[in-house]
Amino acid sequence: MADTAGHERFFPYESPYPNQREAMDRIANSLARGQDVLLEGAPGTGKTLSALVPALAHARDEDRTVVITTNVHQQMRQFVEDARAIASEEPIRAVVFKGKGSMCHLDVGYEECRSLKETTRSLVEAEADRRELAERSEALLDDVRAGEEAAAEARAAVVDELEAIEEEIEELESANVCEHYRANLTRDTEAFEDWLFEDVRTPEEIYAYADERGLCGYELLKEGMEGVDLAVCNYHHLLDPTIREHFFRWLGRDPSEVVTVFDEAHNVESAARDHATRTLSARTLEGALAELDEADDSRAGRARNVIEAFLTGLESAVDDALGFGEREQVGENWHDLDVANDDRRDDLTLAFLDAYEGGGIDTEIDLALQVGEALDEAYEEAYRRGETTTRQESPTLQAAGFVADWMAEGTDLGRHPMAAVRRDAGTDEVYGRAELYTAIPRRVTEDLFDEVAASVLMSATLRPFDVLADVLGLSDPATLTYGLAYPEERRRTFAVEGPALFASDREDPETQATVAETLANVIRMTPGNTLCFFPSYAEAERYHDLLGASDAYLDEAGTPTEDLRRRFVAEDGAALFTSLWGTLGEGVSFDGDDARAVVVVGVPYPNLSKRLEAVQDAYDRVYDDRLDAGWRYAVEIPTIRKTRQALGRVIRSPDDYGVRVLLDKRYTRAGRDMGKYGVRDSFPPEERDELIDVATEKVEFAILNFFADLDAYDGDPPAP
């Protein structure tokens, strides 16, 4: 059994929330057994500390490191605050890690940075060798003057070495070096580590510290991470196998010495899918062909055979997949095309094979890889020697590696071959790309969860646990659920018996009028701000414009949301219209008066795109013994999780109160007659039990009664 009393020394506040102590104890026991944990806790129940406190105690006892990760920017800031609070009570060594791009003083890519470091290190080492040889030369000169016969010959050899080193240094000084990294290697930087662990430093603070002193903060941080108690990072540091290997090495830990904690873990599935997906555009293929034409390599001709045939196959597959008039509608964003077939290889592969006329695909892919590697090494050397100002990468190497994977993995059930097209803004030309889309994310996550000591995955919306464990490849995890422990009389959740807002019905004027009137009533009867979530930004804009209120805020795709959020919460009685699939639907708190009501309009199914169909198809094939596995795993469960996340934007503390409204017949009991489209039973039982069905014309009275009972109105309540 774990020392369940000892871990509370890491708890930084006076007393835990309701259920928090039990959660910490159960997680401590699970970690002691090496068992993964799935923790679902309602917003405001202290999930982060519930996981972090026992994880840190376990790591301290077992000489391990805790890595806590999120893909939500605001949560990263919360982790820093929690880590600082813990450090004020129990000394811990913690680092907050971001990628090189956010901390580099030169704004160069990964390969350029690597080359710069290697050249800089070679220069510093050569300068050290020069100093040592100069000292030996001076010492031998004294011996020569003293009449030692062997000293003259020895000094002559040293002078020869010194001249060679001088030439090497002259050559290196004319090459590309990083002065910030050079300062790291040549100056005393011990003060940095003392400063780093005086507090929990953010990457921005580290950058400023290093910039002021002409140092490279990114490299200093990497060197100072070894054996820390806690590391805070983004998802990609764990989900990308290559980055993860480097990251653990910087920590000085084997995977078995790491405990991972994933926040907002309902996002791990999609994040893992994105990290494993690979693409290759026609532009890269064209670049590879141009590179091979210029290459002075006897293998280039045969390498060209396979690259040119794949480009021809891609162009042919794209042309065939585009419907009548579809090419003219293609914009600057990638437009997906499905080239997969149920009974044979995909259309791109078939077109590639038809176009290929070489001497063996596998052989010529290998030759293309060899040529690409040789060219890449030459580009590396040219950059290191200062012959080029940027570090060029070989498109042949990129193209050959992708084609090799395409041919090897195109029939993998977890990979889905796709194509896409976009319009070049400069030339107006439409060109394509091939994509190996990872439909089943466990191929990415299963190895991670198998190799680390244990993992805690937490979110307000993880259930159903069996599906999550299945999708991510977790074996027999412990499961914990903590709902809202706050007074039930301070919240209401209404399922409104309005129209079922299928996409085909959204243009109906009568439907729009009903929805707009219901929204207006909710907003009017709420003593405070109202959040309104829709299936898309277009629907949010539609109802924002229909209501036409002066204090209505519209969140639009691609616009910064933090300033919008600040302006909205400064109001009283305002409404914010946004998409459920945007950034305000999760990870953003609207505490207390910031929002007193939230409305989810419709069932926000994602657009049934080609890639979503690919995910459905993959789940159906992998779980062919389960009825509607594709629909449930790929569509229904992610949609309900999104809905539950939106509902969680209000009721954030024991003293909070508010109303949650689900505006669509499919949430009601009557919606159960609609087959798989009725979603009421997809909610967890305790949340389903709180749903109160109400007619559209009764919503304003229901809300009025709730807030009046709490004496929430400032003065007389509005008239229904």
Question: Dihedral of CA 319/325/330/336: which sign?
Answer: negative
The model's pTM: 0.86
Q: Are residues 645 and 625 in the same domain?
A: yes
Same domain, 344 and 211: no
Q: Provide the residue range defining the domain that includes 233.
A: 8-103+190-275+445-481
Q: Which position has the token pair 């590391």?
A: 231
| Same domain membership, residue 51 and residue 114 | no
Mean pLDDT of the chain, nearest integer: 91
Q: Are residues 347 and 313 in the same domain?
A: yes
Please provide residue 613's backbone torsions phi and psi, each rounded to the nearest 5 degrees. -60, -35
Indicate whether 300 and 383 sit together in one domain: yes
Q: Express each pLDDT in 209-250 by its tens digit.
A: 999 999 999 999 999 999 999 999 999 899 999 899 999 999
Q: Are residues 178 and 265 in the same domain?
A: no
pLDDT of residue 509: 94
In sequence order, what are the residues at sequence separation of 6 or more whose Cβ sits closer than 8 angstroms to the Cβ of residue 560?
Answer: none
Query: Domain check: are 452 and 325 in the same one?
Result: no
pLDDT at 398: 97
| Residue 716 domain-assigned (yes or no) | no
pLDDT in tens, 407-450: 987 666 677 899 999 999 889 999 999 999 888 888 889 999 99
In a domain, 1, yes or no: no
Asked whether residue 2 is domain-assigned, the answer is no
Record the tokens describing residue 282, joined without a space.
Answer: 């026609």
522 lies in a domain? yes
- Based on the domain organization, do 469 and 617 belong to the same domain? no
Domain-ending residue, one of 166, 182, 198 = 182
Give the pLDDT score at 277. Answer: 87
The pLDDT tens digits for 101-129 are: 778 887 787 788 888 899 999 999 999 99
Q: How far is CA 57 from the centre of its chain?
A: 27
One-letter amino acid at 38 equals L
Does residue 142 form part of some domain? yes
Q: What's the pLDDT band for 1 if we cut at 50, 70, 90? A: very low
User: For position 644, which CATH number holds?
Assistant: 3.40.50.300
Q: Return the closest-CA partner of residue 496 out of 711, 699, 293.
A: 699
Residue of 525, 458, 503, 509 whose CA lies nearest to 659: 525
Q: Quick check: is 371 in a domain?
A: yes
Tell me, yes or no, whether 412 and 547 share the same domain: no
Co-location of 165 and 231 in the same domain: no
Residue 107 tokens read as 């704004």
Looking up residue 352, the CATH number of its domain turns out to be 1.10.275.40
97 with 116, same domain? no
720 within domain boundaries? no
Contact yes or no for 178/216 (Cβ under 8 A): yes
Q: How many domains does the chain have?
A: 4
Q: Has residue 718 been placed in a domain? A: no
Query: Which residue in 512, 572, 567 sits closest to 544, CA to CA?
Result: 512
Asked whether residue 298 falls in the same domain as residue 270, the answer is: no
- Of 130, 157, 182, which closes a domain? 182
